Structure 1
Amino acid sequence: MPPADAPAEPDAAPEEQGSGPGDRETPAAHAGTEDTLDLKLTEELLALISADRNKAARRRDPAGELLGDPATWPGATTEAGVFHLVPVVLERDLAVLSRWMNDPAVAAFWELAGPESVTANHLRPQLEGDGRSLPCLGVLDGTPMSYWEIYRADLDPLARHYPARLHDTGIHLLVGGVGNRGRGVGTTLLRAVADLVLDNLPRCGRVVAEPDLRNTPSVSAFLSAGFRFSAEVDLPDKRAALMIRDRTYRDHL
């Protein structure tokens, strides 16, 4: 289960800050242009990354029983732009992710401030694991601007705290691009990622998240993205709002 917590996004809230290891739709106040220019992704690079990650995913999870590979998922066309989930490559992405984690607004909730090794130690168990948790960059119109973790909630410690169902899939996120705050992008992307999960994981019936109950902007963002408030749950590091997006809701939109 992921770290501490972060605010999210009501209509006029300071900024989307979210659902993460604690609550991670968090903004990174110091993540400016220098964080993204060197990570601009072309379609060719996206294809190369996808091919490389496909090989790794087949080695870890040959039958695709866990989460498959988000690199193969199509982009989502949203009102904010075309959005892709791109699996993290440690050597390429560590510097920018560590920079985001060291922003005070992010560090208060993700608790990953410090040298790059701190962020690397958080990422490696996911990158080298069996595929039950996948760290991804959120790439909007070719520019990385957010960090996501897509994980099997039914195989996570979270499942000890709610009546989990087989193939429940959880999400954590933080918004790192300074130009993407305060204009509803967090809610837009939450909706898009939940739809991507349900569209590409046919056995998943629900997408879940567990923002801190006190983080009303984050809870509001999930509600606006089509999640429903299911219950209050006591987790080791917080009292959380269990948010659920049901496939039945998605299929009847």
Structure 2
Amino acid sequence: MPPTDASANAGTAPVTDAGTTSPTAHESRIGPAADAGADSEDTLDLHLPDEFVALFAEDTGADGSRSLGATATAGQASASATSAVTVEGTGTGTGTGTGTGTGTGACAPENPPASTTPNPDDLLGDVADWGPVNTPAGALHLVPVRIERDLPIISRWMNDPAVTAFWGLAGPENAIEEHLRSQLVGDGRSVPCMGLLEGTPMSYWEIYRADLDPLARHYPARPHDTGVHLLIGGIRDRGRGIGGTLLRAVADLALDKRPACARVVAEPDIRNTPSVAAFLTAGFRFSAEIDLPAKRAALMIRDRSLRHLL
């Protein structure tokens, strides 16, 4: 899991493996004919009743054209109707859903259902459409990162000594580009964003599905938990309490835009006192100390049920 902070911390990259499902083949078996003797002929001399033959009698029109009899046509229509499969389903709109299906007929549909590969927009919703949102510090807009536009400024921020201690991403641009691109080409469970305050880039964010992240191995995750990481990039914006203001706005934005999400979580380094204080100011509660691969972290949680009290 990537770092989390108002001036932030290091972690592991989000998971990108997706499961696959394989359809199960259903076999139809026909047993041998009853009472077939050793001297049976290969071809049976089958005599159909006259009534059965009448069902498939062909009508000859005045112009010499032929068509199936009315009874056969009706039977064909009935067979077509009963072989159709109707499926009804409901989904949460955030990447998981439940469905019920009903079907009639003795055969499966010709074309099997499409693969259930996750839709990137379903895991977090379209973060690009979340903002802007008004805050006491001004209008904040989260804009998904574009490598060619944003890499130079993000690289500069990550190489700031005050940031390096917690994010651990200092280095050449290509290393930071790899960190960004791994999220951008993933399945949508983590979205790196630039934070624009009144139109000016001043922060870097990662909005991610905490329940689908390695973080979930270290705390009692709940479905649709949304994680947030924050780096205040501009030096002039640090140390004046703006982190808590922006964190509250983005956490509430996630709760507003993701109805299935009951909690926003974060895991700043326990040593990063200003970061922990910023989350407390933003209405997060301290839940526990947890040991992560790269740090000991403070698990911070903003609950939907408590958002108007904290």
Question: TM-score category by the smaller chain?
Answer: 0.7 to 0.9
Would you say the 8 A contact 2:10–2:169 is kept in 1?
A: no
Deviation at 1:136, TM superposition (A): 0.1
Give the Cα–Cα distance (whole angstroms) in 2 for the partners of residues 120 and 64 of structure 1. Answer: 22
Matched, 1:104 2:161: yes
**Structure 2 residues without counterparts, runs of 5 or longer:** 12-116
Query: Letter of the aligned partner of 1:91 in structure 2?
Result: E
Q: Secondary structure at the match of 2:221?
A: coil
Q: Match for 2:174 among 107, 117, 129?
A: 117
Match of 2:231 in 1: 174
8 Å contact from structure 2 (residues 120, 187) kept in 1: no
Aligned length: 205
1:18-44 per-residue CA deviation (whole Å, 9 max, x = no partner) reads 3x445xxxxxxxxxxxxxxxxxxxxxx
- Deviations, residues 76-99 of structure 1 (Å, cap 9, x unaligned): 111111000000001110111111
Q: Which runs of 5+ in 1 are unaligned?
A: 9-16, 23-59
Give the CA deviation at 1:178: 2.0
Query: Equivalent residue for 2:148?
Result: 91
Paired amino acid for 1:141 = E
**Structure 1 pair 85/178, CA: closer, same or farther in 2 (3 Å)?**
same
TM-score, normalised on structure 1?
0.77
Two-structure CA RMSD over aligned residues (Å)? 1.8
- Equivalent position of 2:203 in the other structure: 146
Cα distance in 1 for partners of 2:269, 2:119 equals 35
Tell me which amino acid in the other structure corresponds to 2:2: P
Distance verdict in 2 for CA 1:182–1:164, change over 3 Å: same
CA drift of 1:127 comes to 0.4
Residues 153-187 of structure 1: CA deviation (Å, up to 9, x unaligned): 00000000000000000011100112212221111
Counterparts of 1:1-253 in structure 2 under 5 Å?
Answer: 1-3=1-3, 8=6, 17-18=7-8, 20-22=9-11, 62=119, 64-250=121-307
Letter in 2 for 1:199: D
SS of the aligned residue for 2:290 comes to strand
The residue aligned with 1:45 is: none
Distance 1:129 1:224 in 2: 32
Q: Given residue 108 of structure 1, which amino acid in structure 2 is its aligned partner? A: A
Question: How far is 1:240 from its partner?
Answer: 0.8
Cα distance in 2 for partners of 1:125, 1:164 equals 23
Q: Which has the higher contact order (CA 8 A, sep 6+)?
A: 1
- Mapped to 2, the partners of 1:71 and 1:248 lie a distance apart of 26
Q: Mean alpha-carbon deviation: is it higher for 67-76 or for 144-153?
A: 67-76
How far 1:234 moved relative to its partner? 0.8
* 1:2 to partner: Cα distance: 1.4
CA distance in 1, matches of 2:239, 2:215: 30
Q: Which whole-Å CA distance do the structure 1 matches of 2:287 and 2:172 have between them?
A: 37
TM-score norm. by structure 2 comes to: 0.63
User: AA paired with 2:171?
Assistant: G
Task: Give distance in 1, aligned partners of 2:139 and 2:174.
Answer: 32
The one-character-per-residue Cα deviations of 1:201-245 (angstroms, maximum 9, x if unpaired) are 111100000011122221111111100001111111111110000
SS in structure 2 at match of 1:65: helix
For the 8 Å contact 1:187–1:221, the answer to whether it is kept is yes
3-state secondary structure, aligned to 1:66: helix
Distance 1:184 1:63, change over 3 A: closer
